[in-house]
């Protein structure tokens, strides 16, 4: 039966609702995993904030490019935490399945993985090979090493000739993220959210897959094979919904989750996100769960609130205010998105600076582009008002260990100032917010 507007977002104590409906009891899961520390590496290179800014630019670029009853199943997928910077899940593509580790990203709408032909290289310029010096604009692999670096090395690659369910499409695709580009061609195959040998895995036949033949150098340093976008495209087949905006998905293809809904794979068009925090020393450990088709009642508490989406390609809504105790109260209504692909909270520069001043005890690190503070610094919760309800972010969710062994008591303030200049949402509520409130 077709579903109708409104789209909305639910917030739980400790879930995104695509279309508000009653909830099913059966649950299927997809895990997330942790890897070696990227945070300390990026901070030493002065790139942690750059990564956050790139994430904001990715959202702004996509944002600006837009134009104005039968029992199914619920699935849960465990995700793994990459030192609280990336939550990575295992999916498989093809028949027999080929496995890939991807970021489950609510801020984009395409699934892509490296193709078996992905062997292009990044040119290392001469100024990147000066002895004892590495220009900040250079990839570390270029500095003093060989003249060319393959971004496809160490990645799992999709070999379409080994899949009997693969359908060649051949249409080229290109995605420009804030952190780099990806381009290649499109194919269609069976996609599974989970391990190829696992049970209760969400299986989605006839799903578009981007087969990357070239990737920007940023992806070389990331412990992922690709990205699985969970956002919308313009129109959703099988649903009585027409979106008044351009497609967020490159080439207008059906995103995997929307395809599952259109095929009737889920009992309800609902998914929830639970992210754990294991700390800076946790490596390759369970980091959370994506629940497809329902709510994670085991890890998420009662529903705290609901807010309608103001834009239906992103999970975009309105923030009515930001406050810090009695020292700061901003009642300015601004657009925000909830994004699992953004590792920090990114916000309006003027408000963030006022917030930092109100909290006190921080210093601005020009090289890293971050506010730093002692890890044992105590302060009151920061409050976000959404749809008339206050959501508090305690100190524990806003102070992140920098992972620097030379400064063990120095931490990162998890809110980064950024100006969208009207080309994107003023706020991106990334992983720290989702760790506090399931969505």
Predicted confidence at residue 11, as pLDDT, reads 60
Task: Please identify every stretch of the chain with a pLDDT value under 50, giving residue numbers as ranges.
Answer: 1-7, 14-27, 36-47, 50, 61-72, 81-84, 123, 137, 146-147, 235-247, 280
* Phi, psi (rounded to 5 degrees) for 177: -85, 170
Helix-strand-coil percent breakdown of the chain, rounded to 5?
15, 40, 45
Q: What is the pTM of this model?
A: 0.77
Q: Are strands 75-82 and 86-93 parallel, antiparallel or unpaired?
A: antiparallel
Catalytic residue among 81, 84, 105, 115: 105
Task: Return the number of other C-beta atoms located less than 10 Å from residue 408's C-beta.
Answer: 12
Q: Residue 316: CA atoms inside 13 Å, Cβ hemisphere, count?
A: 21
Tell me which residue of 161, 162, 213 sits closest to 186, measured CA to CA.
Answer: 213
Predicted confidence at residue 151, as pLDDT, reads 80
DSSP H or E segment with residue 114: strand 111-114
Q: Which residues pair with 177 in a beta bridge?
A: 180
Task: Return the number of other C-beta atoms located less than 10 Å from residue 44's C-beta.
Answer: 15
Predicted confidence at residue 234, as pLDDT, reads 52
Distance (Å, rounded) from C-alpha 111 to C-alpha 256?
7
Q: Which residues pair with 98 in a beta bridge?
A: 93
Predicted confidence at residue 340, as pLDDT, reads 80
Distance (Å, rounded) from C-alpha 197 to C-alpha 92?
10
Asked about 67 being catalytic, the answer comes back as: no
Asked about 376 being catalytic, the answer comes back as: no
Catalytic residue among 84, 139, 189, 339: 339
Distance (Å, rounded) from C-alpha 371 to C-alpha 378?
15
| 82 neighbors 102 (Cβ within 8 angstroms) | no
Q: Are strands 415-418 and 345-348 parallel, antiparallel or unpaired?
A: parallel
Predicted confidence at residue 361, as pLDDT, reads 93
Predicted confidence at residue 14, as pLDDT, reads 45
Predicted confidence at residue 195, as pLDDT, reads 76
Domains, the chain, in order of start with CATH, read 21-118+155-436 (2.40.70.10)
Distance (Å, rounded) from C-alpha 289 to C-alpha 296?
8
- At 336, list the tokens: 């925000």
Tell me which residue of 233, 4, 220 sits closest to 118, measured CA to CA.
Answer: 220
Predicted confidence at residue 35, as pLDDT, reads 52
């Amino acid at each position: 039966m077709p579903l109708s507007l409104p789209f909305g977002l639910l917030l739980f104590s400790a879930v995104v609702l695509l279309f508000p409906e009653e909830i099913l009891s059966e649950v299927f899961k997809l895990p997330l995993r942790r890897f070696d520390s990227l945070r300390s590496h990026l901070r030493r290179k002065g790139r942690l904030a750059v990564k956050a800014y790139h994430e904001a630019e990715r959202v702004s670029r996509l944002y600006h490019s837009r134009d104005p009853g039968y029992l199914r199943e619920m699935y849960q997928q465990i995700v793994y935490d990459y030192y609280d910077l990336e939550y990575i899940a295992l999916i498989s593509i093809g028949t027999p399945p080929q496995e890939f580790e991807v970021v489950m990203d609510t801020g984009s709408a395409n699934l892509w993985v490296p193709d078996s032909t992905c062997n292009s290289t990044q040119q290392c310029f001469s100024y990147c090979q000066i002895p004892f010096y590495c220009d900040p604009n250079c990839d570390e692999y270029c500095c003093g090493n060989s003249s060319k670096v393959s971004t496809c090395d160490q990645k799992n690659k999709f070999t379409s000739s080994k899949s009997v369910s693969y359908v060649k499409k051949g249409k080229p695709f290109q995605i420009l993220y804030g952190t780099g580009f990806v381009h290649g061609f499109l194919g269609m195959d069976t996609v599974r959210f989970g391990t190829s040998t696992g049970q209760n895995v969400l299986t989605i036949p006839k799903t578009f897959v981007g087969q990357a033949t070239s990737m920007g150098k940023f992806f070389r340093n990331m412990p992922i094979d690709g990205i699985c976008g969970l956002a919308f495209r313009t129109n959703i087949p099988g649903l009585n919904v027409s979106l008044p905006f351009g497609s967020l998905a490159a080439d207008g293809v059906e995103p995997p989750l929307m395809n599952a809904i259109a095929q009737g794979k889920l009992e309800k068009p609902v998914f929830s996100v639970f992210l754990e925090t294991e700390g800076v020393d946790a490596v390759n450990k369970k980091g959370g769960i994506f629940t497809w088709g329902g709510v994670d009642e085991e890890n998420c508490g009662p529903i705290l609130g609901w807010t309608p989406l103001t834009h239906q390609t992103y999970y975009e809504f309105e923030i009515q205010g930001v406050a810090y105790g009695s020292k700061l109260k901003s009642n300015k209504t601004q657009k925000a998105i909830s994004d699992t692909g953004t590792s920090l909270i990114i916000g309006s520069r003027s408000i963030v600076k006022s917030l930092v001043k109100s909290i006190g005890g921080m210093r601005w690190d020009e090289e890293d582009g971050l506010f730093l503070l002692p890890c044992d610094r105590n302060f009151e919760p920061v409050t976000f008002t959404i749809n008339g309800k206050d959501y508090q972010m305690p100190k524990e969710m806003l102070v992140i260990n920098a992972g620097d062994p030379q400064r063990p008591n120095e931490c990162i303030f998890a809110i980064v100032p950024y100006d969208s200049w009207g080309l994107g949402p003023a706020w991106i509520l990334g992983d720290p917010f989702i760790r506090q409130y399931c969505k």
